[in-house]
Structure 1
Amino acid sequence: MTATAPFGPLDFQLVLLRRMADFHPELVEEARRELGVSTAAMREANRRWQAMVRSPKGRGTLNRYRSVLGEPESRQARRIGDLECEALLWPVPLWPDLRFEVMAARGGSVWNEWLVRAPGATGPDLHTATDLRPWSCTVDEAARAFAPASPLPGSAPTRWGLALTLPGGEIRTAEFCWGLFQRLV
């Protein structure tokens, strides 16, 4: 029996893609091919990730990300209301203009984990509903472009909803997976 290779950044990208396949299997298939991995490899990466997340001997969320992704590319102190936290950012090769952000409170408790625009990267030009294309923007970008916006509960732990105000005042719900736009409902 051969030893299993360590779970790394490529595997983690496959986990992100696996959840997004619920919305856009055609985009996921294209990305999977770009990464040069099989459907079976994507399923195996997801199986291994779920085993790590559910393990009673787990390393804790922040330590799990560090063990999988390495040391963060950058760290930024943030204050949100009374909460002082640290934003840790890792590159995601599949999406070079994005970073995987983990928000951790003092003591290492993780309270948010999603994709955000990389510092200095130009975001999309969002003015109308047709500008909202799958994988085109992050939660924060959509909220700023279509204010006022209100967060909504997602249908799964890696999903977020956002009530957006479109031009003309129509309110629609945008759905995100791992912080990346998936669809407008």
Structure 2
Amino acid sequence: MRDDESVPTGKQSPFTQLDFQLVLLRRMADHNPGPVEDARRRLGVSLADMREANRRWQAMVRSPRSRPALSRYRSVLGEPESRTPRRIGDLDCEAWRWPVPLWPDLRFEVLTAAGGAVWNEWLVRAPGAEPPALHTVEDLTPWSCTVDEATRAFAPARPLEGSAPTRWGLAFTAPDASGVRREVVAEFTWGLLQRTEVSGPRP
């Protein structure tokens, strides 16, 4: 069987945690096809499998009969590993987190308000996992850090509007290996760094 082929089945299988990981990878493939290809092969799935998982996910999200986002995540990923109360400004919410086998040091986090409304969905560092050492531009390699880690390491960082609902951007200054401060625009998908554009030096 060719790598881009999958075996057709008469009955559609349940949407699983593996399928959800393929959805995450599909969005990242626009920026980082190389790492995504490596990850896809580690998971033992074809290109067709990844496309089909994304098609099914989009169909679920856009269906007029779609269940609420939090219920959808719970159905696909099971019960969360943790549920933590959190206060953001004047708003109370709860952070639900699930493990993501493809990235053992990360968790998929959903911030939800009272009534189950979802405010945010992205990857964050797992509790107790060693955070990346972010000191220079050279440390900002694909998949090396999350939005909040880059924000803290290179404060003050200015949020930028992403090109899609699952994408975020940050603008900040950071030193290069020689100590020269550079202007940096970092792009994230599902909260994980995908690429940076570096210019400068800063005036």
Q: When the two structures are superposed, what TM-score results if normalisation uses the length of structure 1?
A: 0.98
The alignment partner of 1:13 has SS state of helix
* Aligned-partner Cα distance in 2 for 1:170–1:40: 40
Residue 102 of structure 1 is matched in structure 2 by: 110
- Pair 1:164-2:172 in alignment: yes
Higher relative helix content: 1
Residue 70 of structure 1 is matched in structure 2 by: 78
* Aligned-partner Cα distance in 2 for 1:77–1:165: 33
The Cα offsets for residues 45-64 of structure 1, whole Å up to 9 and x where unpaired, read as 00000000000000011001
**Which of the residues 24, 43, 49 maps onto 2:51?**
43
- Pair 1:52-2:64 in alignment: no
The Cα offsets for residues 77-129 of structure 1, whole Å up to 9 and x where unpaired, read as 00000110000000000000000000001111101000000011011100000
**Which of the residues 174, 179, 184 maps onto 2:191?**
179
Number of aligned residue pairs: give it: 185
Q: Highest CA radius of gyration, 1 or 2?
A: 2
Runs of 4+ in 1 over 4 A off after TM superposition: none
- Pair 1:91-2:99 in alignment: yes
Unaligned runs of 5+ in 2: 1-8, 198-203
User: Which amino acid in the other structure matches residue 156 of structure 1?
Assistant: A
Residue 140 of structure 1 is matched in structure 2 by: 148
- CA RMSD across the alignment: 1.0
- Range 102-111 or range 167-176, more displaced: 167-176
Q: When the two structures are superposed, what TM-score results if normalisation uses the length of structure 2?
A: 0.89
User: Which amino acid in the other structure matches residue 183 of structure 1?
Assistant: R
Unaligned runs of 5+ in 1: none
* Aligned-partner Cα distance in 1 for 2:109–2:85: 12
The Cα offsets for residues 127-153 of structure 1, whole Å up to 9 and x where unpaired, read as 000000000000011011111112111
